[in-house]
Structure 1
Amino acid sequence: TYLHILRGLNYSYSYLPLSWISGLIIFLISIVTAFMGYVLPWGQMSFWGATVITNLLYFIPGLVSWICGGYIISDPTLKRFFILHFIFPFIALCIVFIHIFFLHLQGSSNPLGYDTALKIPFYPSLLCLDIKGFNNVLVLFLAQSLFGILPLS
């Protein structure tokens, strides 16, 4: 992930702003999802981690009471974090599709930004390639989970 972000900073930050912004949103949603998953075991470390992180948000009026369900970390906070921890990956997945659309719309393999007629259209060519790549990763994941050395249960 970090190498992907650094590559984006090096090559495409200036001429692919929509792809850059959508990628940054995906990264931030991933961080927030991981934090909310860290809180879910509801131990001492996760409780104090939630306390510290939510205290960083007190400069925005009403945000902490809305997120926590009050002014302290309690049971409603855990329920809200669980719901958000479940919903945010689906939101991130939608933004990933938007990110890929912006990337193919603006042409990521054209670092100089020249407008040329020698482009490969996004639909059907590049979309089919993206779907094939996704299916390959899915097959590898399913093969590991179904036939792997270490069972999931």
Structure 2
Amino acid sequence: MVSRTLSLSMSLFRAHLVFYRCALNLNSSYNFGFLVAMTFVLQIITGITLAFRYTSEASCAFASVQHLVREVAAGWEFRMLHATTASFVFLCILIHMTRGLYNWSYSYLTTAWMSGLVLYLLTIATAFLGYVLPWGQMSFWGATVITNLLSPIPYLVPWL
């Protein structure tokens, strides 16, 4: 009975892990979709950790970020990890989308490609909001430039 169970489990192991059928053009560039997801999860974790010490009022936002960096133990590490991971997310997205363009994935997976583009635009918007959150000089002028770029769209800038 034990040998039969062991034989069954080994055949399942062999069928799903050892002799798994895959495409001939499978290479390491297919890992970047997974890396985008993992770096995005890391962004969420570090963002929530940073949000515990952040004050969202405009007059106190910069001071709360400075307090986090200078006074809180390992606060600067979490902030730099969060900032660096944001750049890595965009690098992985760029490589992932380039592979999709190279393989012509958009021609036969239209819904996946369109949902990926929507997620990419939402990621850009989220990154911009994260850039503006510290409300330093660079953040203020970055927000000013983007709102001025969006000013030709009626009713959008007053809503922002």
TM-score scaled by length of structure 1: 0.43
**Higher Rg:** 2
Greater helix fraction, Structure 1 or Structure 2: 2
- Structure with the larger RCO, 1 or 2 (CA within 8 Å, 6+ apart): 1
TM-score by length of 2: 0.41
